[in-house]
Amino acid sequence: MSASFFAGWTRRRLARLSGPAAVAIALTGIVAATTISQTFAWRTSALSDLGVAPGTAWLFNGSLIGGGLVGLPYAWALWSAASDRLGHIRAAAYLLALVSMAGVGLAPADQPLHVPFALAFFGLAALTAVVDGVARFRLPRGKLSLLTGLLAPVAWPVWLGWLGRGIAVPEIVGAVLFGVWVVALSPERPGQPT
């Protein structure tokens, strides 16, 4: 590619792309690991089971670590665009969610830090969308952000109370909703004017 191609790209545009790239890396790795696993079952497994299984650990853990690292510049885009305290809280919650996601990959289910990292990721991912929803509630995307953040934790009691024994389904719901927020609802999603 020529230098003129890159001249049109700003640091903010590249940072905005890092969030969706992180989502693509993490979710693709998770889904691929569920597909190639010989033992995974959506109704009875946890996604983290993939992180300790010999055939999928490298893919599952690697995609969480890689996604966490790739998405870090997105936190800068959110922080630098923040115009108030809620905007800064949104950026910090996103950053800590990504660090926690990478932590899940670095501390698989057989490690003591796994559960704290996993709980932190799901809590902070939902918090990111809720804070954004409150900050931009007057806008349609703000209302959708709030709804996205509230639906993620609701998936847990709904699934566990009525439908299944494993936790993979509410885990993937939370991960996908966080991805939807990054790609389609965030104030710093790609395609926004700089």
pLDDT tens figures, 17-59: 999 999 999 999 999 999 999 999 999 999 999 999 999 999 9
Global confidence as pTM = 0.92
Q: Is the pLDDT of residue 7 over 50?
A: no
Mean pLDDT calculated for residue range 60-69: 98
| Sign of the alpha-carbon torsion through 104, 127, 177, 136 | negative
Structure tokens at 94: 């996103």
State CA 19 to chain mean position distance: 9
pLDDT tens figures, 129-141: 999 999 999 999 9
| Sign of the alpha-carbon torsion through 59, 50, 54, 99 | positive
DSSP secondary structure letters along 72-129: HHHHHHHHHH--SHHHHHHHHHHHHHHHHHHHHHHS-TTSTTHHHHHHHHHHHHHHHH
Per-residue pLDDT band for 190 (boundaries 50, 70, 90) equals confident
Per-residue pLDDT band for 189 (boundaries 50, 70, 90) equals confident
Question: If you average pLDDT over every residue of the chain, what do you get?
Answer: 92
Mean pLDDT calculated for residue range 70-86: 96
Q: Report which DSSP code applies to 27.
A: H
124: number of Cβ within 10 Å: 20
